[in-house]
Structure 1
């Protein structure tokens, strides 16, 4: 018997290719990690060091879900990303050691209330309402790092209703996955259950109810999301 006043939510988890589930405890997201995307947003890329925002794990969805168009926005954007999963504890890691902490990679979508985010940015306020959207972090199944290989020049792409909107390659990342893990581990005790979304390339844009989003990264399971009617 326990003293919970109501049943706790189930632990969100991502399927792993080959079997098993990866339970998600935290989601960190890297901002402005592709120069072309920073330029299209009218900002400068974060070349000196990564910067981050977070998403509530309870807000995540899995590939193939239907996401109702969210309240409070009239400009809801897709962002296609490479995400990585931490597989062992890491704290204050050197860059050359950080890659060993990465269990695997997957395709991910960071869905954004762009109008709300930009308004917050202009007012020098946090991005929470723009970025921490219910259902706004979407993950495809994880592929183990050894099966994926080194992050190099793999193609990353996204289409809306079959029309390609984002098309780049991972060599355009300003901060590599290992560099991100090393930097973030200087601020947090990273551990299994931590997901890190590494940023989006240029070509972001709005979607509306009825749109179908598909995306992929060479060597990883593809991702899909349907935008449903507002509730």
Structure 2
């Protein structure tokens, strides 16, 4: 299934994409795509519904983030060897973990906004997933049982905040709009091989990134098992898995994002998203 959240920010409703590509409202089955409602029992109830009897959503509403209010938004750093090379970093011996603020997430086609004082805004096309079943000290073999679905994430980054100031990466990864996710949450049964999906990203129509999940240093099952050694993963928690080469940081000279740029990215079977970069708006 392809599950979505649609409507104005803060008022999104859950839906699914039918065979004609239309949105069907599923709020009679689950109130939202969040937390425990992403668990196996609720996903099975959605799958058992007669799609043609579900209310058809009129028009072409805004798509919100495909997961609501994650408790954790965890990211994996330097998880493609070509990206590690372009940044001058060594290939890590084990997954590098950092956090993105959960309230950095936004819809897949929402604007990306410069934070105040930003000078080095960058993009990162990634495959992400959401936990559907509590995971603590799980094995790699059992990891798939804990995943509710997969989706696209743009791990938007402010490189000066991330690298050139003291402290951890989190501050360069967590501004509002730094986590466009979606358009869809795709359940595992729809994906033949999550370890062999092409991903790409364009800026103003020019290809910047082109990669494949087969080149992940640490695969998704490894990530679930590894992270669950250090924290309990709850339903609704998001993990985004790292980006291939082609980010602005790795270019000479870097082509940092600027206001007015349009970023488009996609992954096989997971759709695509398009965001416009806009100037800082705030007090």
The TM-score, its normalising length taken from structure 2, stands at 0.73
How many residues of Structure 1 are paired with residues of Structure 2 in the alignment?
219
Among 140, 147, 162, the alignment partner of 2:205 is 162
Counterpart CA distance in 1 for 2:198 and 2:164 is 32
Larger-gyration structure (1/2): 2
More displaced stretch, 83-92 vs 141-150: 141-150
| CA deviations over 1:190-212 (Å, ceiling 9, x no partner) | 12110000001000012110011
Distance 1:27 1:222 in 2: 20
Is 1:41 the counterpart of 2:94 in the alignment? no
> Deviation at 1:12?
9.0
* Cα contact 1:12–1:60 (8 A) shared by 2: no
- C-alpha contact 2:111 2:177 (8 A) present in aligned 1: no
Instruction: Flag the 1:35–1:175 CA change in 2: closer, same or farther, 3 A.
Output: same
Give ranges in structure 2 of 5+ residues lacking alignment: 1-8, 19-23, 27-31, 35-69, 249-255
Alpha-carbon RMSD? 2.1
Give the unaligned 5+ runs of structure 1. 1-8
Distance across 1 between alignment mates of 2:222 and 2:12: 26
Cα deviation 1:26-75 (Å, max 9, x = unaligned) = 100000100111111111122x2112111121121111101222212211
- Taking the aligned partners of 1:12 and 1:50, their CA distance within structure 2 comes to 34
1:77-123 deviation per Cα after TM superposition (whole angstroms, max 9, x unaligned): 00110001111111100111111111110011011111221213xx4
Classify the secondary structure of the residue corresponding to 2:162. helix
1:88 equivalent in structure 2: 133
Name the structure 2 match of 1:130.
172
Superposition misfits of 4+ residues, deviation over 3 angstroms:
9-21
Greater strand fraction, Structure 1 or Structure 2 = 1
Residue 149 (structure 1) shift:
2.7
Whether the 8 Å contact between 2:195 and 2:219 is mirrored in structure 1 is no
Distance 1:177 1:14 in 2: 26
Contact 1:15 1:142 in 2 (8 A): no
How many Å separate the matches in 1 of 2:268 and 2:180?
A: 18
Aligned counterpart in structure 1 of residue 161 of structure 2, from 116, 124, 136 = 116
Displacement of 1:13 after TM fit? 8.9
- SS of 1:52's equivalent? strand
